Amino acid sequence: MKKFAHGIYEGGVSAIQSIFAHSFRSALTTLGIIIGVSAVIAVVSIMEGLGATVGKQLQDLGSEMVTLKAHTSTEKEMLGMTSKISYEDYLYLKNKTDNVQYMAAKVKAFSLGSDIQFAQKSITTQIIGTESEYKNVVNVYPASGRFLTETDDLKRRRVVFLGSSLVEKLGLKADPVGEFVTLYGEWFRVIGVAEEKGSLFGFDQDNYVIAPLSTIESISGQRGNLGVDIVFVPDVNVAQSAVIEQMTQLMRYKYKINDPADDFFEFETAEKTRKQFSDITDSITFVAAGVVGISLLVGGIGIMNIMLVSVTERTREIGIAKALGATSTIILIQFLVEACVLALFGGGVGIVVGYIFALFILMVMPVAAAVLVPLWAIWLALGFSFTIGVVFGIMPAIKASRLDPIDALRYD
């Protein structure tokens, strides 16, 4: 065992000497591994960074928030039908459920267009018609002015609450409360501006306009006919799933649905969104891992190729080493260690290059707040590189160790 350790040490010293003796070739050899590892590190670190950012933002959004929205089955969609949850359903649920802390209906008025104008400027935005309680459901707070009140809704006031980025986009003054903007050709008075939320996946989350639901409905001319989404937060001591179950039963009862497959509505929770998101990132990571697997294989073959060339080239050197007392085991270890050091070197450089690459991507496309290289990815990359070194280095190493010293010494 001591002899073996000595062999590894001496093999390692020889290996490092010979790697530096051919430094340019060594660098080229490891290029395959560098590319493979840097690709995996870049993808993983961006995905992890994205995950952390999204997780935090979902938290901010209120992890307890549930959205009930209409769901159209593919079958119905093909028949040209669209499901819809009405304002009346909202009132019905609000009446029948008592385990809900906050609840609001909102309408996204796509059909009416989604432009907001001020002076000569027109900006495409997201127009949300809702009620005063909405602010409690989604945690949106005014940075200046105020949010909608019940009176705004009752009186169908033409007032808007702006997302923070619109102030600049429209060229409004810093505190635009009291200014007038145009929606659907009508004047609306700005009553407040929201606190900034930042961007998610590179999408501006502060580009929205909130107006009273009743006002939007009356402008649309479809009073009572517009489909709504219902957002709510369950009571603190009540399980989210229990409330969802209760609402499901109420809706099924109201519409006499016996088969759950006929449900024309669905619930979205932060958990579900997070799950959907992690499904996406997982599959991206999976695909990346496949690509990386292939490139590591190519890198490994590159190392094997160079090691075979190197064994042939250094046949005489191996002969001298054997004449001076190197055993076959020492030669084997030397070449194996050399392959592993090359591969590990490639892995190490790959990690750094991948990290820099990820930072660069983030600079060009700010999809996440930060790049995150998890420790497991580093260990995985190094472990993989090492394995590649052993797997692809063993064949040339065996070839070298089996050389006959007399033939090897005679080799030119």
Partner 1 sequence: MTQQPLLELRGITKSYSMGEQKFLALKGIDLTIMPNEFIAITGPSGSGKSTLMNILGCLAKADSGSYRLAGNLIADADEDALAGYRNQSIGFIFQSFNLFPKLTVLDNVIYPLRFQRGRAAHRKSRAIKALKDVGLADKLANLPNQLSGGQRQRVAIARALVTNPDILLGDEPTGNLDSKTSAEIMALFRDLHANGQTIILVTHEQEIAEQCQRELRLVDGQIVKDETKNTAEQHALGVAS
User: Residues interacting with partner 1, by CB under 8 A?
Assistant: 6, 10, 13, 17-18, 21, 316-317, 319-330, 405-406, 409
Least spacing, CB of residue 319 vs partner 1, in Å: 8
Cα–chain-centroid distance for residue 121? 34
Based on its alpha-carbon atoms, the radius of gyration of the chain, rounded to whole angstroms, reads 33
Nearer to partner 1, 140 or 332 (CB): 332
Least spacing, CB of residue 10 vs partner 1, in Å: 5
Least spacing, CB of residue 32 vs partner 1, in Å: 25
Please name the residue that has the structure tokens 């900034």: 196
Alpha-carbon distances of 240 from 34, 63, 237, 261, 270, rounded to whole Å: 47, 10, 9, 22, 11
Least spacing, CB of residue 345 vs partner 1, in Å: 18
Nearer to partner 1, 241 or 327 (CB): 327
Least spacing, CB of residue 409 vs partner 1, in Å: 7
Please name the residue that has the structure tokens 């459920």: 97
Please name the residue that has the structure tokens 């001076």: 324
Nearer to partner 1, 14 or 385 (CB): 14
Using CA atoms of 162, 168, 174, 176 in order, give the dihedral in degrees to the nearest 10: -40
Nearer to partner 1, 23 or 258 (CB): 23
Which string of DSSP letters, residue by residue, matches 163-177?
Answer: -HHHHHHTT--SS-T
Nearer to partner 1, 278 or 329 (CB): 329
Separation between Cα atoms, residue 133 and residue 323, nearest integer Å:
88
Nearer to partner 1, 21 or 236 (CB): 21
Q: How many CA atoms lie within 13 A of 110 on its CB side?
A: 2
Least spacing, CB of residue 337 vs partner 1, in Å: 14
Using CA atoms of 262, 268, 272, 274 in order, give the dihedral in degrees to the nearest 10: 150
Least spacing, CB of residue 26 vs partner 1, in Å: 13
Nearer to partner 1, 106 or 399 (CB): 399
Alpha-carbon distances of 172 from 109, 162, 180, 199, rounded to whole Å: 23, 11, 10, 21
